[in-house]
Copies of this chain bind each other. A is one copy, B any other.
Amino acid sequence: MSGNTFGKSFCVTSFGESHGPAIGCVVDGCPPGLAISEADIQRDLDRRKPGQSKYVTQRKEPDEVRILSGVHDGVTTGTPIALVIENTDQRSRDYAKIEDVFRPNHADYAYMQKYGRRDHRGGGRSSARETAVRVAAGALARKFLSERFGIEVRGCLSRIGPYSFEARDWSAVNQNPFFCPQPEQVPELENYINKIRKLGDSIGAEIYVEAVGVPAGWGEPVFDRLDADLAHALMSINAVKAVAIGDGFDVVNQLGSQHRDEMSPQGFLSNHSGGVAGGISTGQSVTARMALKPTSSIIVPGQTINAQGESAQVRTTGRHDPCVGIRATPIAEAMLALVLIDHCLRNRAQNADVSPTPGPIPGQL
């Protein structure tokens, strides 16, 4: 019943607060024999790290991961893998002045109602800092999926405020601080974010993720469908308010004859479904989008209440992201990878004996 464990077969149990001694997780169920080092994980963590550009929070965290267990001679042993990242750059004093008031749309009011108390420093458990742990665990999943199945998991910024981008140039995505797949748009994006920041405000964003090379047969209907678990995974990321698989909300105005992905001996002829049918992967690319709300920690003053239920005003002046979506691409990728590895393992529990049947493998869309 634990709410801090993700997955049923590849299980990630997360812990840690923004301003406590450390954050981390335990990964239970990782297959043995996977070569993994702290450097492998660090590479992904560094992509998400705060303080890397002026467009994100200026908190500087080295985010150095330490493997405490489950790896011997550089290889996973099949036992639980504990990953720990110490917190270092905590400016808790920034939060002293907001200790008594609830920030509108921030988690602190809900936490207080639920637990009767809260760790107000930096959002405590509800801080986006927690997502570093997902990226670390996701690094294990990605390496397994890549090595055993040749699966590539990747993502990019697809929308921000009024701008939208197509996943056109994958090589550019990691070359700019926004994970923007249209590099020619980056200067305008920089101007836009600077403008939002000067207003003391924030803006929403949309992230696109896909996994190429997923075999057919992963997903556990009727409840734990691959797409349902992916919706759960992406919606569990801080600030996410919507999730779409394949064509998403566009299906509302599609005809059946337009939407269905026809098949030929040469493969699928389209991919409106996002690679999932009946909750099970089809062999097409798994594709999804998620929307992130503008952060609620902004300088523009807002009306709120204090811990006594009285009217109050709030302005948040700590180090915050003008757009939490900017750093969300590696997190979305990590969650997609975690869903896939979990379903890979779950599928083989029941169906390890099943032989593949003939189907559209060549040129899958």
- Residue from B1, B32, B358 within 8 A of A307 (CB atoms): B358
Bound complex: CA A261 to CA B281 (Å) = 38
A300 within 8 A of B: yes
Asked if B124 contacts A77 (CB within 8 A), the reply is yes
State A244–B291 Cα separation when bound (angstroms): 9
Contact check, B109 vs A282: say whether CB atoms are below 8 A apart: yes
Q: Nearest Cβ distance between residue A356 and chain B, in whole angstroms?
A: 7
A206 to chain B: which residues have CB within 8 Å? 249, 252
Find out whether the CB atom of B114 lies under 8 angstroms from the CB atom of A257: no
User: In the complex, are the beta carbons of B69 and A159 less than 8 A apart?
Assistant: no
Task: List A106-126 residues whose CB lies under 8 Å from chain B.
Answer: 106-119, 124-126
Partner of A252, one of B130, B159, B279, B348: B159
- Bound together, the chains give a CA A112 to CA B162 distance in angstroms of 43
* A305 and B264 form a contact (CB under 8 A): yes
Complex: A146 Cα to B11 Cα, angstroms: 31
B251–A291 contact, CB under 8 A? yes
Q: Annotate A65-100 by CB proximity to B: 1 below 8 A, 0 otherwise.
A: 011111010010111111010000000000000000
Is A262 on the interface with B (CB-CB < 8 A)?
yes
Q: Is the CB of B346 within 8 A of A262?
A: no
B255 touches A201 (CB 8 A): yes
Q: Tell me, in angstroms, the Cα distance from A219 to B115 when the chains sit together.
A: 11
Interface bits A202-214 vs B (CB < 8 Å: 1, else 0): 1111100000000
